[in-house]
Amino acid sequence: MFSESLHSYVHENVSLAERCWLRIGGSARFFAEVPSSSILTQLCREATAASLPVRVLGAGSNLLIRSEQIDALVVRLTGEFEAVTISDNKIVVGAAASLGDLISAAAESGLAGLEHLAGIPGTVGAAVVCNSGVKNDDLGSRVQRVCGVDRDAEEVELSREELKFGYRRSNLQHLIVTSAEIELQRQDPAEVTRKLQANWIVKKAGQPAVDDCLAQAFIEPSGWQISELLEAAGMKSAAEGEASMNPTFPGYLGVTKEADARDVLALVGRIARAVEVQSGIQLHQQLKIW
């Protein structure tokens, strides 16, 4: 399937369950940890030539993997894609860097504008594609340039004028994002750190630990509290099979070791229907389904 030069990077039938927060799901037909742009583009070209889809696995914080084997090349970016480089008031950051590392690096350098993202899990690449943020503020408003690999396995670079960001969305779904340039504002490092720590404390108080096998089920609708919507619809502690909503962390669902992706899909579907019937509001899934 892949050329000899790529054999050391590509592995077959690799379990993905332990690589995502929910710890359930099947395997990838092919899996590769990719340390450089040259290897990534070569992998993508050979996969494209073989009509094999390419998917990127980040931190797995909002990912639900079905039990069946994924007929695709699943790549995890490492190496050069984890770099964070600061120059003046701009940061060039690799897609595989954690969002937390980016925010901390900015604060230490006296660059303000990302403190509101403190405590949001995942990688920078996923955060850019999904336009992570809080109410009235998002990451996309600071992104000036994005580099990536497109569906034709070609390296591309998008300028600010070519980027489109909306509430929890972007026009980058067709790209494997490899890096982003972010422009921030100079400020006293101590003040930026103070804001960062305050936001982090508030965010973490409403989040489970990474090892709790929990994931956020829905995007909180603009102008509404997800906890209030679930409570009103009688879904705050809803369960389906081995999946259930966590009453301590509203909006998060948890699973047991015996859970199947079908339990999760049935649960989020039932909750979405109940909320729409009760309030008229359509909930959108935070979970990405493979």
Distance between CA atoms of residues 245 and 214, nearest Å: 9
- The owner of tokens 């600010």 is 160
Q: Which of these is catalytic: 168, 169, 262, 270?
A: 168
> Within 10 A of 28 (CB to CB), how many other CB atoms are there?
25
121, two tokens: 């899990």
Which DSSP category does 48 fall into?
H
Q: Are the beta carbons of 123 and 96 closer than 8 angstroms?
A: yes
The CA-based dihedral angle spanning residues 95, 97, 99, 103, taken in that order and rounded to the nearest 10 degrees: -120
Measured between alpha carbons, how far is 121 from 59 in angstroms, rounded to an integer?
A: 8
**The pair of three-digit structure tokens given for residue 132, joined into one six-digit string:** 């992570």
Element (H, E) at 130: helix 124-130
| Cα–Cα dist 271/274, whole Å | 5
- Is residue 186 flagged as an active site residue? no
Give buried/exposed letters for 82-104 (b at 16+ CB in 10 A, else e).
bebebeebebbbbbbbbbbebbb
| Cβ-based neighbour number of residue 183 at 10 Å | 16
User: CB under 8 Å to 140, separation ≥6 — which residues?
Assistant: 128, 131, 133, 163, 165, 170
Cα separation, 30 vs 13, in Å, equals 6
In one letter, which amino acid is 11?
H
Catalytic positions: 168
